[in-house]
Structure 1
Amino acid sequence: MKKTATTQHPGKIPTQPGPEDAAESADSVIAGAGPTGRPGERATVRLREDGPDDQPRYAPEWLQLREGADAAARSDDLIDTLRIRLANLPGRADGLVVHDLGCGTGSMGRWLAPRLDGAQHWVLHDRDPYLLHFAAVASPRSAADGSRVTVETRRGDVARLTPDALAGTSLVTASALLDVLTREEIDTLAEACTGAGCTALLTLSVAGRVELTPSDPLDAEIAEAFNAHQRRDGLLGPDAVTVACEAFSERGATVRVNPSPWRLGPAESALTAQWLRGWVGAAVEQRPELAERAETYLRERLAACEAGELRVVVHHSDLLALSRPTDGAS
């Protein structure tokens, strides 16, 4: 299922096609909602070496469309633990330094910075200069206690971080990143964070489970094909959180994992419709023999979504890794 980038204004969500357009849904998927153009590629993070003309694959529209569901899903319990940890860091009086990997439009900063006390300096990493600009402009300016929040942007490859690159960092954070990494890349990330003694909050990794109400006999087959698509070319997909837990734990970090499901109902119909197109599209890309049945399935699901009759739970996990502080940690 092909997806095309959109050139619409980032503040405007494209009009969602009705169920009669489901057969042409390949062309209506916002870039980022469906299968990536190349295996092993997340739009906002360069995970592989690409040519200089390689284009980003996430549209701001998709990132904005999912921001509310992401914010509602993230685990508040882990934030309580994080606050305690950050409050007790040596050198905290100098403020926090937070690296946001694959920041996209900056939704993690908008969600997290106002939940943390004290001065903060956010380093926003992304491969897309437009998204970096968007994230910097729309970043919060004050913390929970009114302290100042500042930002800087860095463009480039964040999958090859080193402890030296994170020296003095208080927190590394990311959303929807782990599941598009390989085992080697997660080891590299864990080594960088634990080597620098900084905490990692890695949210919204796919868990491989989806619940649709009402159910359909094809649900499980589509889900299985989608999960297989997520695991192509050595990527971890729904296995990523388990692998990350092992990688951080083996390096001495204390790891906690909490569920962070999207709960999508009639109020989130625009997001649900885009998610459905991408979910089914990836399944068909993985198993082309599903195409004919999947077309009917998608049309019926989109009709139910438009009628306000469909509810979806997309399971994710949030991971908090508390590394042992080092002398270089903030």
Structure 2
Amino acid sequence: MAPSGSTDGASVIPGAGPAGPRPGERATVRLRDTGEEEPPRYAPEWLQLREPADAAARSYDLLDPLRIRLANLPGRAGGGLVVHDIGCGTGSMGRWLAPRLDGTQHWVLHDRDPYLLHFAAVASPRSAADGSHVTVETRRGDVARLTPDALAGASLVTASALLDVLTREEVGALAAACAGAGCPALLTLSVAGRVELTAPHPLDTEITEAFNAHQRRGGLLGPDAVTAAAEAFTEHGATVRLNPSPWRLGPEDAALTEQWLRGWVGAAVEERPELAERATAYLAERLDACAAGKLRVVVHHTDLLALCRPVDGGA
């Protein structure tokens, strides 16, 4: 999500709150080249705040089939991995994944925001799981322009919290690019459109429905993204696996929970302004519970592993 406020007037870190001047355009990268510059829509502070929850949520169960595929890629014997991280933000995906894969790795970090690219490069891991060397390079550009040529030589494509800010056409293009390059894709933390808060509140369902509608603005897939991506990769002959990857937020995550709440409720009100009065009281009640250490939240996400067919044979 992107800036700007909340129903109680408090500030929201850019990235945690509802879209401002461009309804429907939420992005870790700026997905569409409009021919004009605009301020970054994801603040590093938001990406850093959510990184521990992201790391805890990602599905470890998808790593073994991924490792098996990577070990059997054509030309891999004795060679290193080339990993493209799409919409890398501050580089949290690399910090999570690189130390969990063996062998030398070269990460190609893609994002629209040069500041985030610099941050990601500086903070990237230097060692793989077996101590092998990890190197990085950065590329500034649009996800919508990703092609098989751009992925030539890729061993793996990764992304985190990206699919739900794409259109169906862009997801199709991503699947086609990965299939054309013959590389697997690990795409994590796509929103599933479901949340659970304790204790349940009568307004939970209305806020959730309004938020989900907000995510679908402008043709974006929002909570439908994983289903659309699974279909797109399957159409290109890939084997697809889906695993849940929920945030489980408790008292120790109060800062993240507060920002998430403000952004979640703010987006719902932006979508349905008639909720504003009730939502303000709802948000205040939830924030009080959060501050008191009594609120627990489960924000459901889904991880997707697509094992595309290698372009020149292989397992």
TM-score for the superposition, normalised by structure 1: 0.91
Question: For the Cα contact (< 8 Å) 1:214–1:310, is it kept in 2?
Answer: yes
Partner of 1:86: 70
Displacement after TM superposition at 1:22 (Å): 7.0
Of residues 40-49 and 121-130 in structure 1, the stretch that sits farther from structure 2 once superposed is: 40-49
Distance 1:2 1:123, change over 3 A: closer
Instruction: Please state if 1:137 is matched with 2:128.
Output: no
1:170 aligns with 2:155: yes
Q: Secondary structure at the match of 1:303?
A: helix
Pairing partner for 2:14 from 31, 48, 52: 31
Change in CA separation of 1:82 and 1:2 when aligned onto 2, cut-off 3 Å: closer
The aligned counterpart of 1:155 is 140
Letter matched to residue 142 of structure 2 = D
Superposition deviation, residue 149 in structure 1: 0.3
- 2:264 alignment partner in structure 1: 279
Matched, 1:292 2:255: no
Show the counterpart of 1:123. Answer: 108
TM-aligned CA deviation for residue 40 of structure 1: 3.8
Q: 1:168, 1:328 within 8 Å by CA — same for their partners in 2?
A: no
Q: 2:58 aligns with which of 68, 74, 81?
A: 74
Q: Which moved more, 1:32-41 or 1:268-277?
A: 32-41
For 1:194 and 1:122, the matched residues in 2 are separated by: 19
Letter in 2 for 1:32: G
1:102 maps to 2:87: yes
Q: Distance in 1 between matches of 2:127 and 2:26?
A: 30
Number of the residue aligned with 1:48: 32
Partner of 1:17: none
Residue by residue over 1:129-169, the C-alpha shift from the partner in whole angstroms, topping out at 9 and shown as x without a partner, is 11111100000001000100000000111222111111110
Please give the root-mean-square deviation of Cα atoms over the aligned residues, in Å: 1.7
Question: 4+ residue runs of structure 1 moved beyond 4 angstroms?
Answer: none
State the distance in 1 between where 2:129 and 2:280 align: 47
1:315 partnered with 2:300: yes
CA deviations 1:200-234 (Å, max 9, x no partner) are 00000000000001111000000000000011111
Deviations 1:67-96 (A, max 9, x none): 000000000000111111111112222200
8 Å contact 1:204–1:316 — kept in the other structure? yes
Contiguous gaps of at least 5 residues in structure 2:
none
| Gapped regions of structure 1 (runs ≥ 5) | 6-20
2:218 paired residue number: 233
Alignment partner of 2:144: what SS?
Answer: coil
Spell out, residue by residue over 1:242-261, the C-alpha distance to the aligned partner (whole angstroms, 9 max, x if none).
01000000110000000000
In structure 1, the partner of 2:182 is 197
Aligned-pair identity in percent equals 81
